[in-house]
Structure 1
Amino acid sequence: MDFEQLLVRTAKALNKLGTPYFVTGGYAVSVWGRPRATFDIDVVIQLAHPDIAKLAKELRKIGKDVYADEQMMRSALLLRSEFNVIHPESGIKIDFFISKGDTYAARELARRKVMTIRGVKVYFISAEDLILSKMRWHKLGGGEHHLEDARSVLKRAGDALDMKYIKQQVEAQALTSIWRSAKIEM
């Protein structure tokens, strides 16, 4: 099973349950920016306690011997952190980040974009919010690759980006110096 097949099966499971989500991270960078190697699929989800058992059950259906630990999911929900699901046959890991429920998360979920892959609706973080997310990660000390990712999305999406929104959010999120360096070095 390849990344795309696993992504589609994961999206089907989340869509079936009506779980709000979006794909982010390296896979989203490959969609909106430059193709780049990634070793996992990052998904932000909005999850409630009553949905955990149903989600674990659906995720186990995405492949043979898929590991989806309900206790890990409960802990992640409680701590607003992450849990992962491993597809042993391919070795691909899906990291599920519990939505923080803050202003950024609500905006990202509201602005997510749907794409159809192999006949299945898959939700992705918007290009604009991916740029902002990558700048926030860089600000937190996440490394230069986050800026490179942001630059690649800026370069590839170009005029299709909502620059007014990005500039408003750059200012609101105190990312001005990072924005300048990202734009200058494009």
Structure 2
Amino acid sequence: MNNELNRQTLEKVVRILNELQIPYYFTGGIVSNVYGDPRFTEDLDLVVSISLNQAEGLFSALESAFRIDQEEMMDAVSDERIFQALDEDTFVKIDFHVGEKIPGAADRAIETTIFGVGPLWVVSKEDAIVSKVFWVSLGSARSEKDIANMLIDSSPVDLALVENLCEQLGILDHFNRIRKKMEEGGIF
């Protein structure tokens, strides 16, 4: 995915979320541009904390520039699951993950800039690692490399927090396996 197209979509969605005062933070592949190895991503992932009333306002704000199914969106908000929107200008897909899955992640999110867009909120480095470990537990090989890049990145990481969160989510064995693979040189 072209970074300029991602930038254009980021600008639109961040402006809308800020105007509506909907708490959010980006996660997924786009966060690799903040921690670790910058790479292209096929879509934008973000976590939103949103009520049904706010969802109606968000739908109204998105529908002029994005393809979005209102019924799917409302069901996703009710059930705290994913809904999607497609930017009609850039064809960049956004996955809106409703509700945080990692305890306390919203409180640890940080403000930064991505592709010249900001300030915007992104998941903390520790929570990004935990999220990627979760995806590894579901079979994502790409996420293993993302984790390794975040762990070797020069910015600090609270490994005790990562281990604690992985343990809470039942994925600590996956995290330990990845670290062992790194020690043995088996990820890159």
TM-score interval for Structure 1 and Structure 2 normalised by the shorter chain: 0.7 to 0.9
Which SS does the other structure have where 2:153 is aligned?
A: helix
Q: Contact 1:23 / 1:123 at 8 angstroms: preserved in 2?
A: yes
Q: Could you tell me how far apart the structure 2 residues matched to 1:176 and 1:98 are?
A: 24
1:142-164 deviation per Cα after TM superposition (whole angstroms, max 9, x unaligned): 32112211111111145x11223
- Structure 2 counterpart of 1:166: 162
Q: Could you tell me how far apart the structure 2 residues matched to 1:44 and 1:167 are?
A: 22
Which contiguous aligned blocks of 4+ residues in structure 1 show a shift greater than 4 angstroms? none
Structure having the higher helix fraction is 1
- Structure 2 counterpart of 1:73: 73
Change over 3 Å in CA distance of 1:26–1:70 after alignment to 2: same
Change over 3 Å in CA distance of 1:67–1:174 after alignment to 2: closer
Unaligned ranges ≥5, structure 2 = 183-188
Matched, 1:149 2:146: yes
Q: Contact 2:111 / 2:120 at 8 angstroms: preserved in 1?
A: yes
Q: How many percent of aligned residue pairs carry the same amino acid? A: 25
Q: Contact 1:12 / 1:120 at 8 angstroms: preserved in 2?
A: no
Q: Contact 1:127 / 1:157 at 8 angstroms: preserved in 2?
A: no
Q: Could you tell me how far apart the structure 1 residues matched to 2:154 and 2:126 are?
A: 9
Written as runs of structure 1 = structure 2, the 5 A alignment for 1:81-96 is 81-96=81-96
Q: Contact 1:52 / 1:70 at 8 angstroms: preserved in 2?
A: no
Which SS does the other structure have where 1:38 is aligned?
A: coil
Written as runs of structure 1 = structure 2, the 5 A alignment for 1:32-111 is 32-60=35-63, 63=65, 66-100=66-100, 104=102, 106-111=103-108
The worse-fitting range, judged by mean Cα deviation, of 170-179 and 88-97 is: 170-179
> Deviation at 1:78?
2.1
- Structure 1 counterpart of 2:186: none
1:42-70 deviation per Cα after TM superposition (whole angstroms, max 9, x unaligned): 11111101112211122245x4xx22332
> Deviation at 1:135?
0.7
> Deviation at 1:37?
2.4
- Structure 2 counterpart of 1:17: 20
Q: Could you tell me how far apart the structure 2 residues matched to 1:157 and 1:134 are?
A: 19
Which SS does the other structure have where 2:106 is aligned?
A: helix
Change over 3 Å in CA distance of 1:148–1:90 after alignment to 2: same
